[in-house]
Amino acid sequence: GAVVSQHPSRVICKSGTSVKIECRSLDFQATTMFWYRQFPKQSLMLMATSNEGSKATYEQGVEKDKFLINHASLTLSTLTVTSAHPEDSSFYICSARHTQGAGEYGYTFGSGTRLTVV
């Protein structure tokens, strides 16, 4: 159980275009999802928390107009990188939170999206 699907796994786009990445919880409802960015050989940097039916909460230093997050249903959150530039090239990973008992949560990660902006 608790499977998360992230799509696409790889995308190459031209500078100035927008790219949408999808994160789906396949067998559970995820009211809260998370988006991370990972630079080569570095840890995951939490970008934002995505809450179903409400606005995302962005971490300090993350441009909300650049990284648009939509969580319109209990099983889908999307991250749109708008007007992408080469410096946005990175590995983006989503995570969905699910309950594991009273007050306990588990976090399942998607397989990631390698974005290359040329």
Q: Which residues bind other proteins (CB under 8 A)?
A: 4, 6, 9, 34, 41-44, 46, 49, 91, 93-95, 97, 100, 103-112, 114
Contacts of 39 (CB under 8 A, 6+ apart): 45, 90, 91
Give min distance, CB of 96 to other proteins, in A.
11
Given a contact cutoff of 8 angstroms between Cβ atoms, the answer to whether 33 and 95 are in contact is: yes
What's at 45, amino acid-wise?
Answer: M
In the complex, minimum distance from the CB of residue 92 to other proteins, in angstroms, rounded to a whole number:
10
**Residue with the two structure tokens 């009273």:** 102
d(CA 12, CA 79): 15
Q: To the nearest whole angstrom, how small is the minimum distance from the Cβ of residue 83 to other proteins?
A: 25
Is the CB of 46 or the CB of 68 nearer to other proteins?
Answer: 46
Closest separation in Å from C-beta 23 to other proteins: 10
In the three-class reduction of DSSP (H, G, I as helix; E, B as strand; rest coil), residue 88 is classed as helix
